[in-house]
């Protein structure tokens, strides 16, 4: 960090003075402060932190206006600040935006500058005031800001955020119901578009993930999991005195999610590539009958223990593909044009994904006849291959040549 040798501006001089005073107490012991003075000092430091946050935001916005950092090729003052201070770019940009936002809300800026509100409270106030319709007028918006500033004296940022949702009711009560309905609809539409789900396996028997779903679906999911973890349900399932917590813990909710997944009626799941979206477990007959302990493979490539496979085969809606046991006939010859579900499952287990060279798709696969059915091809496993939607279209595209390799892979070449 570059230091200013001789501060000229009063703000620079004040910051230098603060550093000098802090340097003076760097090694000072606090053990001799009594409880009353310790409490007063702690609250004073919290207030000082708020005041410094306002000053930092004000200077950061000014740096943005001056394009500080452009002389060394920085794309923005925020990026320059992040590099100079080792702060994250997100945090540096947040400071700059905060400064510009405070320029538009002098009441909140003044309250933060005097330490009457904390930075997190100020951010909440700015967010909800800015969400008010612009046609309300400056006076009404000013009253809204004053209202939240008054509430900040008795509420932390979390409670203030809840009050902010009802800000329109305070400043325009006659229009509040219609505004709330419109606001909820907008939020629901935005939430529906922002749905996301990611999951990855850590290679040690656990999967981790994150998701973002609309409030309604989150409430429904939470209610379903709470019902599974309810003491009455647990007592009915595991017997009385099962040691169930009255309030579900995160661990209990996680177990409930696993139970919900296992119990979901698989016949309600949509079909992908003609096969119900149900996990298939490849299991030896000896393993199924508990005569041999051998890892079992899922059609998605993961492995599970034989004990879990046996339990799922008894309880859950999986498809156990038993090797060496009595199987359903898979080769139907010319009797049917389309592959059956059992044939498709067998193909998925054999091919482990799309058979096109270079393709790694493993879900939503189609069953394709190597020799077309209309050309006399049999509807059996030897004449069937798994292809993803895109490559299945290429297989029926006259502008491509399709080559079936001895390895089981399929090559496509555009005709010249």
pLDDT tens-digit map of 263-286: 766 666 665 544 434 566 666 666
Task: Give the pLDDT score at 273.
Answer: 46
Phi/psi for 355 (5° steps) reads -85, 0
C-alpha–C-alpha distance, residues 44 and 67, integer Å: 34
Mean pLDDT of the chain: 80
Beta carbons within 8 Å of 115's beta carbon, 6+ residues apart:
47, 48, 50, 51
Predicted confidence (pLDDT) at residue 233 exceeds the cutoff of 70: no
C-alpha–C-alpha distance, residues 323 and 220, integer Å: 40
Confidence of residue 330 (pLDDT cuts 50, 70, 90): very low
Confidence of residue 159 (pLDDT cuts 50, 70, 90): very high
Helix (H, G, I), strand (E, B) or coil at 65: helix
Q: Percent of the chain scored above 70 by pLDDT?
A: 74
Phi/psi for 130 (5° steps) reads -70, -20
Helix (H, G, I), strand (E, B) or coil at 233: helix
Confidence of residue 186 (pLDDT cuts 50, 70, 90): confident
Predicted confidence (pLDDT) at residue 380 exceeds the cutoff of 90: no
Mean pLDDT value across residues 301-306: 71
pLDDT digits (tens, 9 = 90+) for 352-375: 889 998 888 877 788 888 887 657
Q: 136 vs 118, which has greater pLDDT?
A: 118
Confidence of residue 291 (pLDDT cuts 50, 70, 90): low
């Amino acid at each position: 960090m570059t230091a200013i040798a001789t501060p000229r501006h009063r703000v620079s001089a004040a910051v230098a003075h603060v550093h000098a005073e802090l340097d003076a107490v760097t090694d000072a012991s606090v053990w001799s402060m009594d409880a009353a003075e310790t409490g007063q000092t702690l609250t004073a430091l919290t207030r000082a932190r708020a005041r410094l946050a306002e000053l930092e935001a004000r200077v950061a916005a000014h740096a943005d206006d001056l394009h500080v950092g452009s002389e060394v090729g920085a794309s923005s003052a925020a990026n320059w600040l992040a590099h100079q201070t080792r702060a994250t770019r997100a945090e540096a940009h947040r400071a700059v935006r905060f400064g510009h936002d405070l320029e538009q809300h002098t009441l909140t800026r003044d309250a933060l500058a005097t330490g009457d509100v904390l930075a997190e409270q100020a951010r909440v106030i700015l967010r909800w005031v800015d969400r008010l319709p612009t046609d309300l007028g400056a006076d009404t918006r000013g009253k809204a800001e004053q209202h939240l500033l008054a509430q900040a004296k008795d509420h932390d940022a979390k409670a203030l955020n809840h009050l902010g949702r009802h800000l329109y009711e305070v400043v325009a009560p006659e229009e509040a119901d219609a505004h709330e309905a419109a606001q909820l609809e907008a939020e629901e539409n935005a939430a529906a578009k922002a749905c996301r789900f990611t999951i990855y396996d850590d290679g040690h028997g656990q999967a981790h993930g994150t998701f973002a779903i609309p409030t309604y679906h989150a409430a429904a999911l939470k209610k379903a999991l709470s019902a599974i973890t309810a003491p009455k349900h647990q007592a009915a399932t595991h017997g009385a005195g099962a040691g169930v917590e009255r309030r579900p813990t995160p661990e209990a909710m996680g177990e409930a999610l696993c139970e919900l997944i296992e119990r979901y009626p698989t016949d309600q799941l949509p079909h992908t590539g003609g096969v119900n979206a149900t996990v298939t477990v490849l299991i030896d007959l000896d393993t199924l009958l508990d005569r041999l302990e051998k890892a079992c493979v899922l059609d998605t490539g993961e492995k599970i223990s034989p004990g879990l496979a046996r339990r799922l085969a008894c309880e859950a809606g999986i498809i156990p593909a038993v090797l060496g046991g009595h199987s359903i006939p898979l080769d139907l010859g010319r009797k049917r044009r389309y592959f059956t579900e059992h044939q498709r499952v067998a193909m998925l287990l054999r091919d482990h994904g799309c058979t096109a060279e270079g393709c790694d798709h493993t879900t939503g696969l189609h069953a394709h006849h190597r020799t077309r059915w209309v050309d006399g091809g049999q509807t059996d496993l030897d004449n069937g291959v798994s292809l993803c939607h895109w490559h299945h279209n290429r297989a029926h595209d006259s502008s491509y040549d399709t080559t079936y390799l001895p390895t089981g892979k399929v090559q496509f070449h555009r005709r010249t």
